[in-house]
Amino acid sequence: MNGEPIPDSDHVLRHVKARFVQGEDIDGGGFRLREGEHALSFNWMEYYRDCTPDEQLQLIRKPFPLKLNKKDKFAKLHVGSTKQHVRAEHPENKVIDFIEDGDGQVPSHCLMTGEPDIDDMMADLVTDCVLEKLPAIS
């Protein structure tokens, strides 16, 4: 249900443009607010709970609202580990959360929110938590 937190045991994907992918690494710029954003857009993998991870990825790619390029990636994060890492490592003990925000077009959409805001250090800390880099286009 929209507005509800994503369970800590689940995973989310962030679309990262190719310019933020450097070899096997993702630059913190891929986790900074884009123009017009008040929170970071992600997709919740376990929204499609009864599917395999590969099927979840396909279901997220299919209605994706942005143009995906061959060199773009989806960065996979574990929700609970990412939240804990940011809180533990940020010098101001900032807190993040992942909140359901899906609609009819993109039902798996969710947002990463930050208290009191999302700063560049949070973006770099989130980058530390990337589990996998998946191709944006299969």
Instruction: Write the pLDDT tens digit of every residue in 72-101.
Output: 999 999 999 999 999 999 999 999 999 999
Task: Check residue 36 and give left, alpha or beta (phi > 0: left; psi -120 to 50: alpha).
Answer: left
> In this prediction, what percent of the chain has a pLDDT beyond 90?
72
Read off the tokens for 88.
């533990």
Which residues, 6 or more positions from 87, have their beta carbon under 8 angstroms from its beta carbon?
A: 93, 94, 95, 96
pLDDT confidence band for 37 (50 / 70 / 90): confident
Average pLDDT on 2-16 reads 95
pLDDT number for residue 112: 96
Domain assignment present for residue 3? The answer is no
pLDDT number for residue 45: 97
C-alpha distances in Å from residue 128, one per residue of 51, 113, 118, 133:
27, 17, 16, 12
Average pLDDT on 25-36 reads 87
pLDDT above 90: residue 118? no
pLDDT above 80: residue 29? yes
Domain assignment present for residue 1? The answer is no
Domain assignment present for residue 92? The answer is yes
pLDDT number for residue 95: 93
> Do residues 107 and 58 make contact, with C-beta atoms less than 8 angstroms apart?
no
Domain assignment present for residue 6? The answer is no
Average pLDDT on 36-46 reads 91
What is the tally of structural domains in the chain?
1
Distance CA 41, CA 132 (A): 17
Q: Which domain holds residue 106?
A: 11-135
Distance CA 79, CA 7 (A): 7
pTM listed for this prediction: 0.93
Distance CA 32, CA 46 (A): 24
Average pLDDT on 14-39 reads 88
pLDDT above 90: residue 66? no
Domain assignment present for residue 128? The answer is yes
Domain assignment present for residue 105? The answer is yes
Which spans in 2-130 are helix H?
53-61, 79-89, 120-127
